[in-house]
Structure 1
Amino acid sequence: MHPFRKAVEDRDEQAIEATLAEGVVFTSPVAFKPYPGKPITAAILRGVLRVFEDFRYEREIADPGGRDHALLFTATVGGRRIHGCDFLHFDEAGLIDELTVMVRPLSAAQALAEAMGAQFERIANEAAAHGG
């Protein structure tokens, strides 16, 4: 099991943050522009932990070369069942330097956008407090 997966499943915010490179770029399933940097990425992931219910990874797919990983998940947000995938890319040190999330169906993606939108002020404040 990948350390990021274990950290998320354990809801261990510090362990999640420890898997991220300083220059990580987070690409959201519901926002147009990517979010660069560890402080904002960690804050977004903390927000996701707050809005997802019944979260669980169902499958893990690893690149034989070790630089890419996909984690398929299910969760509930705003009463909608969501299916998604975390696509991870690792730098030379083994830290996540790219994290892209995709989700379906559209109704669940919209519920996620609404729930995360409600979290965004807190996310921005947390990122700023941690140097972002």
Structure 2
Amino acid sequence: MAREQAIQTLETWHDLLEKGEFDRLRPLAAENVVFRSPAFFSPYSGVEPLVHILSTVSTIFEDFAYHRQFWTEEQDAVVLEFSARVDGKTLKGIDIISFDDAGKIREFEVMIRPANAAAAVGEAMAARAGPRLKELLGKGR
């Protein structure tokens, strides 16, 4: 695994997130990237669903901020702790980002607590992201 490329990918992720420039996410993701979310039951594969979900959730979260990051011993994944608010509920969560040998994102997993905040995220995401996500995937979920 090319640690330097993974670090650069992560730095670019932070920058594009801050600027809201989610089109810049496409070249950072592996073609077969998998996204796992607390808002949707099934994982989603592919760059376009990843970009759509992350750009949509950025419109739902208020006062989003990362606080800490932890690299795995193998340095092929990083855990980012964050906080935000959604629909008046404060939440804490983590993003687990795994990288392939080229330093591209191969898996992006999100976990959120408490349950009422996770449910609020799920409801908002289903309303805002769901229709386009079904279209991107060419099927209903």
Structure with higher Rg: it is 2
Which residue in the other structure is 1:29 paired with? 38
Q: TM-score, normalised by structure 1?
A: 0.87
Offset of 1:124 from its aligned partner? 4.2
2:74 & 2:83 partners in 1: Cα distance?
26
Offset of 1:115 from its aligned partner? 0.7
What are the equivalent positions in structure 2 for 1:7-26 lying under 5 Å apart? Answer: 7-26=16-35
User: For residue 124 of structure 2, what is the amino acid of its counterpart?
Assistant: A
Which residue in the other structure is 1:115 paired with? 124
1:92 & 1:81 partners in 2: Cα distance?
36
1:89 & 1:30 partners in 2: Cα distance?
19
Which residue in the other structure is 1:100 paired with? 109
Q: From the superposition, tell whether residues 43 and 124 of structure 1 become closer, same or farther in structure 2 (CA, over 3 Å).
A: farther
What are the equivalent positions in structure 2 for 1:7-86 lying under 5 Å apart? Answer: 7-86=16-95
| Gap runs ≥5 in structure 2 | 1-6
Offset of 1:84 from its aligned partner? 0.5
Number of residues of Structure 1 aligned to a counterpart in Structure 2 = 128
Offset of 1:47 from its aligned partner? 0.7
Identity within the alignment, %: 36
Q: Deviations over 1:9-29 (max 9, x none)?
A: 332212233321111000111
2:27 & 2:85 partners in 1: Cα distance?
26
The residue matched to 1:65 in structure 2 has which SS?
A: coil
1:108 & 1:27 partners in 2: Cα distance?
17
Offset of 1:50 from its aligned partner? 1.1
Please tell me whether residue 87 in structure 1 is matched to residue 125 in structure 2: no
The residue matched to 1:73 in structure 2 has which SS?
A: strand
2:94 & 2:51 partners in 1: Cα distance?
17
RMSD: 1.9
